[in-house]
Structure 1
């Protein structure tokens, strides 16, 4: 189970970094993915996720690196990353629910962020944390 979680974490954590790099550098017209991106409130909402997403990505990538080197701190850091990722998805889903906006373009990726960490979190918390996760 953790093998699948590790693969999803790698893709997600790299995705966090790439998303904010591409967004910050203005490399794509965000109106394609975010129809209301010209609204300052929505721009601020989007950027409010910068720190939690980058922290989730940094802890996740570091945990994967530590796990490859059989370091005892890898599973603990992996748990931190998964919880941060899940919190990010939950925050977004809560926002879109409050707004009554049910666009699949935003719900699908944020439900993914909310749900994919669950099996890994369960696995990491049901047994002692060792480096052979």
Structure 2
């Protein structure tokens, strides 16, 4: 069950870093940007995700490294990463819902962030601590 989650985590965690690098360099075409992309308040909102996303990425990539080495702390750190990733997606979906903005271009990636961790979280929290890998 966790094999798919590990692969999705790797792609997602690298994706977080790439997204903020691309955003910081101003490489997102305006036609792909979210509503009010140039509004300073929306810019701040977007950058407010930097810390949770990078923390999710750091804990996720570290957990994958620890799991490959058979370290006991790997599954716990993986759980932290999955919860942070899910929270990030949920925060964005809640925001877009409150604004009444239902652009699939931004809903789909954030629904992915919110939903892909669920099976892994269930798996990690339903197994005895010693058998989580």
What range is the shorter-chain TM-score in?
Answer: over 0.9
Give the SS at the match of 1:72. coil
1:5 is aligned to: 5
- Listed one character per residue, the Cα deviations across residues 101-122 of structure 1 (whole Å, up to 9, x for unaligned) are 0000110000000000000000
| CA root-mean-square deviation | 1.2
Give TM-score scaled by structure 2 length: 0.94
Q: Tell me if the contact between 2:56 and 2:84 (Cα under 8 Å) persists in the aligned partners.
A: yes
Matches within 5 A, 1:1-133: 1-26=1-26, 28-35=27-34, 36-130=36-130, 133=133
Q: Report the number of matched residues.
A: 132
1:75, distance to aligned residue in structure 2 (A): 0.0
Give TM-score scaled by structure 1 length: 0.94
How many angstroms apart in 2 are the aligned matches of 1:113 and 1:42? 20
Give the SS at the match of 2:129. coil
